[in-house]
Structure formats: C-alpha cells, structure tokens
Amino acid sequence: MPAKPTFRRAPLMPNRFAPLPLSALRPAGWLQEQLTLAATALRDRWLTLDPGNPHAPSPALAWALLRVGLPLAALLDDEPWLSGVRRRMDHLLTLQGEDGCLLPDAPCDWAAQAVCLQTLIPAYGLWADKEIPVRMLRFCRYLWGQLPEHPLTLPQAATCGELLSPVLWLYDLTGKRFLLELARALQAQGTDWTAFCHTMPLRARTEKAVPWDTLRTQAEVEGWDARRYHAGLYQHAHAAHIAMGLKTPALIAQWTGGIKHEGAFDVGFAKLMKHHGVACGLFTGDDLLAGASPSRGVLSAAAAGMVGTLCSLLATLGHAPHGDLLETIAFNALPALFTPDMRGHQRLQQPNQVQITRAARDWYSAGEADTFFAPDAGDAESAALHQAWPLLAGSLWMASRDGGLGAMCYAPCQVRYRLGGQPVRLDVQSAYPFDGTVRIRILTPAPAAFPLHLRIPDWAQGATLAVADELMECAPGAFASLDRTWRDGDILTLTLPMPVTVTGWYHQSGAVTRGPLVFALPLDAAPGENPGEWLPASPWAYALLPDAGFSVVCDPQQAAPFGMGQPVAIEAICVPLPDWGLKDDSALPPPIAPRVDRALARRIRLVPYGGTTLRISQFPVAQAATHSDAAEQATPAPVCGGALANLP
C-alpha cells in the first residue's frame, strides 16, 4: 500500500504541494513511449545488478542505477522489474553497517550516500515500509556524528542540497528534532549559494578570470578539496554543481524563513541566464561557466541537475514560474542530449551545433570529443542523466495541502488518488508540449469535493478553462484553482494559446519559440571521416526575418518521443548569410543585425529543438524591412526537410 504524501512539519515553513507516490502516476501517449525508450536502454545495465553476478557493480553504482530503475519500473507499472528493484534494494540495505553507514566501503563519500537516501524516499512512497525510515534515521545519526571530524569536501559542500533534501523529508515524516540540527550543520559546511545568487561573482566567462591550465595547476597544488581561491572557483563555476546547488537556498528557507534565501533562486537564475544563458533554457558550462555564445557547450549533467532542482523547488515553494522553467529545460535541452533511442548521449551540446567532430573547440576544460554521442557507459554519471525523465514524469502532478491536486507540468498521463473520500482517476489527454489543449476527464464512483490547481504558464496570455457550461479566464504565471464537487465523467478543457515569438539572445540573435518549445533549423547530416562524426549536408547560415511572419504546421495526432516524429513545425523566412562561417569546427557567433538582400529570402522549416542533432537555434536577426514585404519575395521551397533518420 503506498504511503501518503509528506508535507512540511512545524517549525518548518508549510509547503503548498508535496510529491505523490509514484504508484499514483502513469504516463500515457508520447511520454509513456519516451520512458519506455529510457527503460529499454537501461535493461542491459540492470541485469548486472544481480548480487550473484561476478561483474556486479559496486554498491555505490548499484544505488545510482536503482535511483533510475525504481521510478521507471513504478511509472511504467512493470511489476517484474519493480519486484527485482525491491530485491536488490533489500540486499543493498543488508550492507548497512552497525554504525548506520549505508556504504561501508565508502564511509565518508557523502555524495554517494546521498544517492542512497534519495532512492529510499520514492521506495517508501511505493511500499510504506517502516523499515526504510528506520534505516535512514540510523544513517542520519551516523552522518551527524561524523561531520565534525569528516566534514564535507568542497565538491560535497557545493552539492549539499542533495543531502539536505532527504534530511528535511525524513524530519517531515518522523518529527525527530535532531534532524533539524543536522540540517543546520550541513548548511554551515555547505556552499553559500544564497550569497552566490545575490552577488553573482562569475559574470564573465571563467577563462577571463583564470585560464584553465593555471586553474588546474593551482588547484592541484592547493588540493581540490582545500577551501582556497582556485579550488573554490572550480567548484562554484562548475555548471553541474551550480545546477544542483541552486535548490539549496529554498531548502534553508524552510527553517530560517528568510526572504533572501527563498528568493535566491529567482535572482540567481536570472543573472546566470543574463550572462551565460542560451535559448534551450540553460546556462553554458564547458565545464565551467562559459558565457552566452550559442557555440559554447551546455553540460548534460547541468540539464539533468536542473530538472531535479526545479522539481524540488515546486514541492518546496510551489511557485508557478518554476514549472515554466522546468518545461523549457525538460522539453528542449534534456531530449537533445540523448539519441532518439536514448542509448547514447552527449556530454556537451551546442545550441548552434553545425557539426560533431573531434576538434579543439573553444572549450574551457572539456575534451575534444565531448560533443560525440557516446554509448551509455553504465556509470553513475550516465545514471544521473537518465534520472531526469522519470523525475519529470513523477512530478507532473502533486498533492496539495488543501486535500486536492496540483498540475505542475503538462503531458499525457493518468493520476489515481483518493480525493474527497473517493478513489478518483484523472485522465490527462493532450499532445502537450506540441499542442496547447489539455483535456482532463474525471472518473469517480460517487461525487467527490476537492480542489484542483492548474499551473498557467507565463507565456499563455488569454488562457481559458472550461468546465461544464462555465468558461473562466486564467491569469498567466499563476495557478488557476477550482474547488467544487466533481462527478463521474466531468471534463475540464484547458486551452493554452501558443503564439510564435522570437526571444532575444547573444549578439542580438533570435530564437523562435512556441509555448515551452524552442524551434531549430535541423540540418541534414552526413558521416564524417571518423566514427561518431557528423557533418552538415544542408545549408545552415541564415539570417531570420521575424517581420515576415511565421506559419505553424501542427498535427497533435503525430505526438511522439523527441526525435521520433514531427507533430509540429514552423515555417519561417530567412536569407542566406554566406559570410557566417566556422571557427574550430563550431559556428562563429551570430552576426549582429546583418544587412541582407531580401530578394534572396526563402522559407525554412523549423522543428522542436529537442528532436534535433545538427541545428541552428539562435539566428542572426536581419535589420527590419523598410519598404518591401519579405514574405512576398520568399521562394516557396524549403531548404531543409528535417530528415533525421540518418542521425546517430
């Protein structure tokens, strides 16, 4: 029997929403297919978890794989797999030491042991096994006793939110007061991300502060774990650490109540995007913060880490704009880092990625082959990337403190939960994010009174919600709430207008967006000389003519996993830019407001960023027309059909 959602316990600040047990959620439609691809890609690795296998991974890696396998098996309702998860988890728990250490072979690897705690939280939600919190409490007492003599290393301090989150969850469940003291001890040793967010000391590319060779040499002299300038700079500027660390201030605000902590994420993320942001919704980092050029690298671990951070923020603070950010990253940067079958992934993706080759690009510390789609290595880093999709699916809906449900993000799914004294099922039918209509059907054996809170994205100006004969307008950037008695067969229709817009980025470049999706020009690809290399086989150097307008081609029935279909496309008008070329196998920065011959304008077809491999997503924006209509001058033939079948 699943456990009830766990809300904040006094003296912590009350939260509005709490995650549902995974058994309450079932993905449907394209999302179910996406998760099935992820599960299929992991099956081979999963078989190695058999404790009798001589090639079984270390306990730390086994926990990392369990953290992915457990939510996937639960969400896909794969009972044999879920039973295997339980057996392997029970075996790993037998390794817990008498002192409470969950990984006796790595007693002070607090980051690895945080993974164990994070796995046990959804496990308790599924099975309500009282032995799970007992073992977690034993570990937390062990951690509390060890921290004075074995404090967090600098990397562990940067990601201490990964420990704080389960510690606070365990307090909410058990009320053990020592857990609040443990949380304060972790805060004292952790990185001060609140100060980082409000001051933003790293506004320029990291290499402008210190070249990589100098940083590496000095940090090794000082020791990577020493709390000194060069070692600290590496940890604080690392994109993955920032992505995971940004959840920490909101967690600290739960017992301090400080507005500065609570608002730190919003302030810090806005500054990060101002100085290092790109159109796919993230900041660059190859591996350290790298500026805002669309040819810089976006670290895959940062994309996955931000999905986890935003899911945590929605449960902690319940702010609707965090759902907007979550969808932007999850529907753009996240799918783009995987191959369509999810068996391989990039370490770094480029928003303007015109070829994948081994080259000495303008990276900071990343390798020459980091844009290659490498096969899943089966290590902890790969497992962390695969965790993002089930995290998103498990956070689509949450329980609300007032006895209802809240929609955090939209995708086809089913929600089964007891509401208003009745077993209720919500069928969410939608092709979102490819289409803006969300239809929610309520099934209940008897009338049930409960509230529903539906997040209205900030871009959805003019959103409406229809229920029976009622039609209400919804304010964007907030939750629309309905508290009524629901009857079997009631249908809610949420209509989210998705106008095409052009957002401004580096060098006055423009990105075409519709709803939460960023659209990119997909390039036909040809194999390079070396395995894993892909070269452009179609033109890519174009300037966008936004004043010529756009046309949308949408077929919601074709909704499919990213890279597997074309449910929506946008036709735009562009002009060739023959002088926009390459440097170090990457596209040069977009030319600023180029002058173009509009008589050469032509139509191009843009597709969702998450379904592309070679692409242009941030276009130079040509100077506005003065006397002619570019649409009339455009030639009708598209320059790219978006053929993706020959990509890795």
Tens digits of residue pLDDT in 37-55 = 999 988 766 656 666 666 7
DSSP reduced 3-state for 73: helix
Local confidence band at 450 (pLDDT 50, 70, 90 cut-offs): very high
The reported pLDDT for the residue numbered 646 is 28
Helices (H), 341-458: 380-386, 388-394
Question: Alpha-carbon dihedral of residues 166, 168, 173, 176, nearest 10 degrees?
Answer: 120
Q: What confidence score (pLDDT) does residue 258 get?
A: 82
Classified as helix, coil or strand, 474 is: coil
| Complete DSSP assignment for 588-599 | PPPPSS----GG
Predicted pLDDT at 44: 66
> Using 50, 70 and 90 to split pLDDT, how confident is the model at 644?
very low
Beta strands in 8-127, from DSSP E residues, in sequence order? 17-19, 25-27
3-class SS at 3? Answer: coil
Q: Does pLDDT of 327 surpass 70?
A: yes
Mean pLDDT of 282-310: 97
Q: What is the model's pLDDT at position 232?
A: 85
534 burial (CB, 10 Å; 0-12 / 13-18 / 19+) is buried
pLDDT at residue 57 above 90? no
Taking each helix axis from N to C end, the angle separating 212-222 and 229-237, rounded to the nearest 10 degrees, works out to: 120
The answer to whether 189 touches 160, Cβ cutoff 8 Å, is: yes
Q: Which of 174, 190, 206 is the last residue of a domain?
A: 190
When divided into structural domains, the chain yields a total of 2
Q: Average of pLDDT values for 358-378?
A: 90
Decide which of 32 and 469 is more confident.
32
Alpha helices by DSSP H, listed for 147-177, are: 154-158, 161-174
Q: pLDDT per residue over 2-25, tens digit each?
A: 789 999 999 999 999 999 999 999
Q: Is the pLDDT assigned to residue 397 strictly greater than 50?
A: yes
pLDDT, one tens digit per residue, over 200-224 is 999 999 999 899 999 988 877 777 7
Structural domain including 74 reads: 48-190
Domain boundary, last residue among 190, 216, 251: 190
Euclidean distance between CA atoms 441 and 393, whole angstroms: 19
Whether residue 402 lies inside any domain: the answer is no
Residue 179 has pLDDT above 70, yes or no: yes
- Whole-number percent of the chain with pLDDT over 70: 94
**Three-state secondary-structure class, residue 619:** strand
Distance CA(119)–CA(166), nearest Å, equals 10
Whole-number pLDDT of residue 106: 87
Q: Residue 167 falls within a domain, yes or no?
A: yes
In a domain, 453, yes or no: no
pLDDT value at residue 220: 79
Nearest to 124 by CA among 247, 251, 254, 6: 6
Q: Which residue has the tokens 């497992």?
A: 383
pLDDT at 647 over 70: no
Collect all residues with Cβ–Cβ distance below 8 Å to 442 and sequence separation of at least 6.
424, 425, 426, 486, 487, 488, 489, 490, 491, 492
Place 56 in a pLDDT band, splitting at 50, 70 and 90: confident
Q: Would you say residue 70 lies in a domain?
A: yes
Q: Residue 613 and residue 335: Cα distance in Å, rounded?
A: 10
C-alpha–C-alpha distance, residues 22 and 169, integer Å:
16
Strands 500-504 and 374-375: unpaired
Asked whether residue 168 is domain-assigned, the answer is: yes
- pLDDT per residue as tens digits for the range 605-635: 999 999 999 999 999 999 876 544 444 444 4
Strand 510-514, strand 517-522: pairing: antiparallel
> Does residue 550 carry a pLDDT above 80?
yes
Which pLDDT score, from 0 to 100, does residue 221 have? 79
pLDDT tens-digit map of 255-269: 998 899 999 999 999
Among 166, 190, 214, the domain boundary falls at: 190
Specify the long-range contacts of residues 150-154, CB closer than 8 Å, at least 24 apart. Answer: 150/107, 150/108, 151/189, 152/110, 152/186, 152/189, 152/190, 153/110, 153/225, 154/224, 154/225, 154/226, 154/227, 154/231, 154/232, 154/235
509 in a domain, yes or no?
yes
Structure confidence at residue 478 (pLDDT): 97
Please give the Cα distance from 621 to 276 (Å, whole number). 20
Q: What is the mean pLDDT of the chain?
A: 92
pLDDT of residue 48: 60
Q: What is the pLDDT of residues 136-155, one digit of tens each?
A: 999 999 999 999 999 999 89
Q: Is residue 160 part of a domain?
A: yes
User: What type of residue is 509?
Assistant: S
Report pLDDT for 629.
47
Gap between the terminal Cα atoms of the chain = 42
Asked if the structure places residue 380 within a domain, the reply is no
